[in-house]
Amino acid sequence: MKPYLTGHYTPHVDEITAHGLVVEGHLPPELSGRLIRNGHNPKPGVTPTHWFKGSGMVHGIRLREGRAEWYRNRWVRTPALDGAPYMTEKGPDLTASTAGTHVIEHAGRLLALCESNLPFELTPELETVGAYDFDGKLTNVMTAHPKQDPVTGELHFFSSSPFPPYLTYHIASEKGELLYSEEVPHASASLKHDFAITERHVVFVEGTVTFDHTERSGIPYAWKDEQPARIGVMPRKKSGGGSVRWFGIEPGSMLHAANAYEDDHGNIVLEGPTVDREGFRRSWNWWVGAPERGAVPNSRSYNRQWVIDLVRGTVRERIIDDLVVEFPSINEDLIGRQHRYQYAISFPDDQGVGNFGVVKYDRTTGGRQLRHVGDGQLPSEAIFVPAEGSTSETSKASKTSKASEDEGYLLTVVSDLHADASRLLVLDATDLQAAPVATVHLPRRVAAGIHGSWIPDRA
């Protein structure tokens, strides 16, 4: 049995809606909105050749006025759900998406994302509307990890392809109009899953994983030592545009960026978990279900920092911590700005020893706080929601004081194999060791997914 079809990852065979969920503790009044998560969930009888090939399924939890009003799950109804091929006689079908990686809200639209296709729009009740192409202006794919500038409201994203043009940078306005598209010079076929923005720059990462036409899993990428690892830095359009500068870094692969910013010396600081060759081999083998695989899907993934000196043209890099982590997150009011606190999901070590947990890093003191969720339990990506009246809620990014940056809550859905159930934990982000602020009991065990978003009612 493929590992992504068993245990925490066992796919759902149906869609349900449940109302009036049981809540322990007290849901804060500012938690008025929807937590929506996305992940790969093939239909019954379908065994995808790669974890990422499974069709998307979104799970939503509606919170309002201290109540958990509903839970619902829905397949993202793309042509791929019914087996439509990506490649046709006319070329790639950009609507044949799994749409199973992420889900965001921008300009009033709820979008399910998968980096190899167009996004798919959903209703507030998670029903599928259809492929969305920014009124015909987006003619290539969209990354699953766009970044919304917390000050301008602009949505920054990219299109990546194993064939030219390899990398295109896009900006959409706060109202959802595609304003700007630019091919990034001198990019390669290296896998680019995530990126980062700062106040003045956009930062791309090309790792040692690149296009490989011999890969038969349906995801045509592989580790190749001859592919140089590097970071590309390019001015944002509002800074006047300009050519990208590429900086060589140590071999590795970064799936997710925690954040990037410009420090007081004008250097760009970028952080995110990375894997080496062996870590990638173990992870990839888990994703395709090969016999020689890691015990967990993210093996030897350690948080790394790069400091890019734009004046000297150099990069300093280091491993920040020896904890195996993935799915980094921050207070999103600080996207592109210097942040103090960083969150992630911790994994058992590369031998499968230990439990999953939620970790908080204090980048000022260098300390970390770790909350294990227990044997047989797996938390989802922890999403930060500011507390009502916090400085980050009222003043936004550039004015946020570091003392108040963590005033808020972390939302994570925990799958419990022993109870065959799931619960939404609302954790106090200032102290992960404190008892949960609230626990919402869900009507079923929610399969482990990938990414999600908190969408407040004001959005």
Binding residues for Fe cation: 145, 193, 256, 451
DSSP string over 277-321: HHHHHHHHHHHHT-SS--SSSS-S-EEEEEEEETTTTEEEEEEEE
Joined tokens for residue 185: 């010079």
Closest among 259, 250, 211 to 231, alpha carbons compared:
250
Whole-number Å distance between alpha carbons of 224 and 229: 10
Establish how many alpha carbons lie within 13 A of residue 283's alpha carbon, considering only the half-sphere containing its beta carbon. 26
Q: Output the known binding site.
A: 145, 193, 256, 451
Q: Maximum Cα–Cα distance for the chain, whole Å?
A: 59
Please tell me what DSSP assigns to residue 436. Answer: P
Contact by Cβ (8 Å): 450, 13? no
Whole-number Å distance between alpha carbons of 254 and 252: 7
Please tell me what DSSP assigns to residue 394. Answer: H
Contact by Cβ (8 Å): 281, 214? no
Cis before 165 (ω within 30): yes
